[in-house]
Structure 1
Amino acid sequence: MGFITTTTTSLYLYTFEAFWPSLIAMISSFIMIKTLISYLLKKSHDKKPKLPPGPKPWPIVGNLPEMLSNKPEYQWIHKLMQDMNTEIACIRLLGNVHVIPVSCPNLALEFLRKHDAVFASRPKNIFSDLVSGGYLTTVLVPFGEQFKKMKKILVNELLSPKRHQWFQDKRDQEANNLMFYVYNESKNNNNNNVNVRVATQHYCCNVIRKMIFNKRYFGDGRNNINIIEGGPGLEEVEYVDAVFCLVFHVFRFCVSDYFPWLRGLDLDGQESKVKEALRIVKKYHDPIIEERIKQWNDGFKSEQEDFLDVLISLKDPNNKPFLTPEEIKAQIIELMIAVVDNPSNAAEWALAEMINQPELLQRATEEVDNVVGRERMVQESDIPKLNYIKACLREAFRLHPIVTFNAPHVSMEDTIIGGEYLIPKGSLVLLDRHLLGRNPKIWNEPHKFDPQRHLINSKGRDKVILTEPDLRFVSFSIGRRGCPGVTLGTTMVVMLFARLIHGFTWSLPHGVSKIDLALSRNGMLLAEPLVAIAKPRLEAGLYQLN
């Protein structure tokens, strides 16, 4: 027994001694694995996507109280981003709606280039619903079949290179009428003052109205003895004011979008403004459209003369009208508000800035004289050579966008941006045109109007272009929601500005030492329309209509 006990004890000791290193190794491995798992979990937790920085939201209502109590909203957003020292923010509105303002070009490119397919939709709100006729158009509608259908029509039927060339004579007529009007206004005023905003806005509306309806005037126009020859009549003044009202309200923040039961109460007065503006626009549009449809249906018209004819004559595979009258009416309104704003605003701001810096005005004038001479007016064929003129317009787009934010992009799924920020599905992404163009990380002396910067940074190109593919500022948007009318928009704004520079010598009004460049209270326009002295500098015969 003693032998067995001793032997057994020895065996146990031997086994334990033999197993001990393995046990130590197992425990060490367990500790190492546990430590590694904890580290990886912590690291994973640390890298968990988070929302962009933003103000702490209230329960349920989010940051709506701040939005409602700080007008205009864009100034509150700008101050918020400045105080937080961020180029992307997250503002939570009612429920789980996130608004994501962005002022960094690299992040903007992620949204509209890398993740373009995800952010190709639009929000639904009371104003876009009204203006688009219930989402029947292109720019204002959420991503889907209607958007694809209408964009295809815009790209292939209305704004194609062939169609652009087809309408050149109509654009030429309005460029000539612009000179005729400004010449007569300056001559008819004892002090030679010209309201530049009236000239630029009505020129833009005239161009697109001529292309859509093949007419400049809804009423008596310049045959009315009470208005300056070539200028707008009472009908056109009412109409243009209504169009620009729609421009400035279509994506404006409205509390009714978050509290639908408040619709109709019009607590901030915006609903009544938009509805009245739409009533005015439709008052002029609808009779023309309905009569033209009748002419096509009755066989009294068979040749296309304008956009309206093109839209009416489109057929489906069964030779039936491809578009309903409601779609035609809504798309024409959207075309108007999409085309008139950028060119008129850029030309007014550029001229205001350059009157305050006469050396810039002189350089632009010298360029046009060198390219065009003084025996004829600027033509569209001159545009590729007018690089300084285009640099001035680029600078106006950069420094003075027509609206603070681009049309909102809606996220169609959760997405990671910048490698760390979660953009939840349904978020409204706003490219901040104002802050992008004034980003001090991108632009030297960002608040200074300096066209020269666009000549230096032209990346070796022989010519300056108005588009900005790197989104250092926004002139024409990019991606699936990019502007299909870049060629038309470029042509309109360059012809408008070049004609004004070439045709007239501009100076400060009498008794004024400097143009006041203050912003309007609720937007990016000059607080007061630009009024300046315009003196013709070419032969009188060049200002007359043929």
Structure 2
Amino acid sequence: MIIFFLFFIYLLFLLLNNFTDSKFKPSLPPGPTPLPYIGSVISMLQNKPTFRWIHGMMDQMNTKILCIRLGNVHVIAVSDPDIAVEFMKDKDGIFSSRPDTMSSYLASGGYLDTILAPMGDHWKKMRKMLSREILSMARHKWLLKKRTEEDENILRYINNQCNSNHGDTKKLMNVRILAQQYTTNIVRKLIFGSRYFGKGSQDGGPGEEEIEYADSLWTILVYIHAFCVTDYFPWLRWITDFDGHEKIMRNALFTARKYQDPLIDERIQQWKDGVRTEQDDLLDVLITLENTRLTADEIKAQILDLIIGGFDNVSNNIEWAMAEMINEPRIFDKAIRELDFVVGKDRWVQEFDIQNLNYIKSCAKEAFRLHPVAPFNPPHLTTADSTVAGYFIPKGSHVLVSRLGLGRNPDVWDDPLTFNPDRHMIGDKEVMLTDHNLHMFSFGTGRRGCPAVLLGSTMTTMLLARLIQGFTWELPLNESRDNLKENFHDFSKAKPLLALAKPRLANNLYPSS
């Protein structure tokens, strides 16, 4: 009798608890009805690429915030700027950590970096170190000469290609390769003090080492935040490498580290032996930190962080900006007129000119808005139950802010699918490539905002400005002006931008061979 009574009280408690929960606790954001235990994993696997499935679901359900359960994890996707600000700024104390995934664990050497590390003492130490020692304004000025050398090198390379064209000064150039070459070269120069791992190619371009290295970085970027089944069912990793995801990631990391890690080990030993005594690049700075001593493994993880974060966003932006501008001569001509007015034709654009190049920056900003480098920002992890936009967000949720949804949001942008740099020109106000209101996503905001905003903005503006100032660009005769399609599996341009380049300034201004 007592047992029956206790059982009855227990059932009554469950019913009352469910009633009060449903009555007073906010509901989850809308989303597909999950299957028991596995959630929506089957649908995810049947609808690749996953990011297009998620965006399609948001359109189908007419919602700016979506909840998809994968295993026991709630994945929250957001495409509204006000909701995104609530996640990333207003309540970023709860939403600033990172989830534990196979790829991020491997790429960060066990979370020894900054970008992928969860919130905690290590992340605070690394973030503080980056802000004060690596990406500060003082350090930015210290590295000016190295950036300038790479600005000149890309001009030299293109001009040499044009002059080697048997009397015809027009040369068909692969703008994607140019942008990737510039960004990887400049990051290597800032970190290691050298443009190439090897000798480069005879024409001044990257060698086999740099090409293999860049390919490995792109692979890491593709897989580091991909939707992997074993991230939601970790026990599967002991049984199978689902989709070969882990093998691909390990191979790419092996390739990247076989070039950079020996250089780091050698440099550390040089400092220990007293062979090296003066700082010349960022690797020297990381090795000789006094207030924040780093282990060799922490330095290696942070170096990979800096390299990965330093080249993909910029190179993707430049290719798309150039493609859109060449496709619309009116926009290209306006950018040329600004450069001729601000800089002139008797000297090269310099970093001190950037503040006055509002239209050039508007073109870059518009490319960030319309053509993001990735569908989502790096995922945020919810560390406590919370309520956002009136919805319940459970602890342990993975929050994804849609770069695509923000930048192409018709509630924010007029004619959002049209490339229109003028939309960013507001009176005499200086154009900045960041947007802390998250009407678009370029460098993020909040605690997890990109700490390299200054460097990324400088690299983007300088490369775009020098390509436009130094050369005329036109599509080859067989190339259609509507060639602005993006890849289905990512947001890169479906075909690399091939354009005819021709020097437009006096020959004596170009850096010599």
Deviations 1:164-212 (A, max 9, x none): 0000000000000011112223343566110001110110111111110
Matches within 5 A, 1:49-198: 49-94=26-71, 96-189=72-165, 192-198=171-177
Equivalent AA in structure 2 for residue 300 of structure 1: V
Equivalent AA in structure 1 for residue 190 of structure 2: M
Change (3 A) 1:261 1:416: closer
Mapped contact 2:355–2:430 kept (Cα < 8 A) = yes
* 2:507 aligned with 1:537: no
1:342 Cα offset (Å): 1.1
Mapped contact 2:310–2:456 kept (Cα < 8 A) = yes
State the distance in 2 between where 1:479 and 1:360 align: 33
The one of 398, 421, 435 aligned to 2:369:
398
The equivalent residue for 2:493 is 526
* 2:234 aligned with 1:260: yes
The one of 415, 425, 439 aligned to 1:472:
439
Change (3 A) 1:517 1:133: same
Mapped contact 1:116–1:480 kept (Cα < 8 A) = yes
* 2:405 aligned with 1:435: yes
Deviations 1:411-438 (A, max 9, x none): 11011111x2001001111000011101
State the distance in 2 between where 1:411 and 1:269 align: 28
Mapped contact 2:470–2:503 kept (Cα < 8 A) = yes
State the distance in 1 between where 2:305 and 2:449 align: 15
Equivalent AA in structure 2 for residue 73 of structure 1: T
State the distance in 2 between where 1:521 and 1:184 align: 35
The equivalent residue for 1:503 is 470
Mapped contact 1:508–1:515 kept (Cα < 8 A) = no
Mapped contact 1:177–1:545 kept (Cα < 8 A) = no
TM value normalised by structure 1: 0.87
The one of 375, 382, 391 aligned to 1:411:
382
Q: Name the SS for the 1:534 alignment partner.
A: strand
* 2:452 aligned with 1:485: yes
1:312 Cα offset (Å): 0.6
Q: Name the SS for the 2:95 alignment partner.
A: coil
The equivalent residue for 2:416 is 446
Mapped contact 2:382–2:395 kept (Cα < 8 A) = yes
1:453 Cα offset (Å): 0.7
* 2:219 aligned with 1:245: yes
Mapped contact 2:25–2:392 kept (Cα < 8 A) = no
The one of 307, 310, 322 aligned to 2:282:
307
Change (3 A) 1:252 1:45: closer
Q: Name the SS for the 2:365 alignment partner.
A: helix
Mapped contact 1:186–1:533 kept (Cα < 8 A) = no
Q: Name the SS for the 1:130 alignment partner.
A: helix
Equivalent AA in structure 1 for residue 346 of structure 2: E
The one of 319, 336, 340 aligned to 1:369:
340
Deviations 1:269-304 (A, max 9, x none): 332222121111111111111111111011111111
Deviations 1:12-63 (A, max 9, x none): xxxxxxxxxxxxxxxxxxxxxxxxxxxxxx9996553110000000010001
* 2:264 aligned with 1:273: no
Q: Name the SS for the 1:430 alignment partner.
A: strand
State the distance in 2 between where 1:383 and 1:109 align: 28
State the distance in 2 between where 1:401 and 1:376 align: 32
Equivalent AA in structure 1 for residue 284 of structure 2: D
State the distance in 2 between where 1:170 and 1:417 align: 45
Deviations 1:288-327 (A, max 9, x none): 11111111011111111111111111135xxxx8111000
1:349 Cα offset (Å): 0.2
TM value normalised by structure 2: 0.93
State the distance in 2 between where 1:285 and 1:486 align: 24
Deviations 1:372-408 (A, max 9, x none): 1111111000000000001111100000000000001
State the distance in 1 between where 2:311 and 2:22 align: 50
Would you say how many aligned residue pairs link Structure 1 and Structure 2?
A: 492
Q: Name the SS for the 1:473 alignment partner.
A: coil
Matches within 5 A, 1:218-237: 218-221=197-200, 224-225=201-202, 228-229=203-204, 231-237=205-211
Deviations 1:214-271 (A, max 9, x none): 00011111xx43xx23x11111111111112212221111112123343373332332
Mapped contact 1:123–1:409 kept (Cα < 8 A) = yes
State the distance in 2 between where 1:182 and 1:515 align: 25
The equivalent residue for 1:33 is none
State the distance in 2 between where 1:545 and 1:151 align: 40
Unaligned runs of at least 5 residues, structure 1:
1-41
State the distance in 1 between where 2:145 and 2:512 align: 13
Q: Name the SS for the 1:416 alignment partner.
A: strand
Mapped contact 1:186–1:194 kept (Cα < 8 A) = no
Deviations 1:325-376 (A, max 9, x none): 0000111001100111111111110110111111111111111111111111
The one of 247, 261, 283 aligned to 1:286:
261
Equivalent AA in structure 2 for residue 63 of structure 1: S
1:522 Cα offset (Å): 1.4
Mapped contact 2:470–2:504 kept (Cα < 8 A) = yes
State the distance in 1 between where 2:272 and 2:69 align: 51
Equivalent AA in structure 2 for residue 79 of structure 1: G
State the distance in 2 between where 1:102 and 1:382 align: 37
Change (3 A) 1:275 1:188: farther
1:521 Cα offset (Å): 2.8
Change (3 A) 1:414 1:362: same
1:410 Cα offset (Å): 0.7
Deviations 1:113-171 (A, max 9, x none): 11010001001111111110010000001111111111111100000100000000000
Max Rg structure = 1
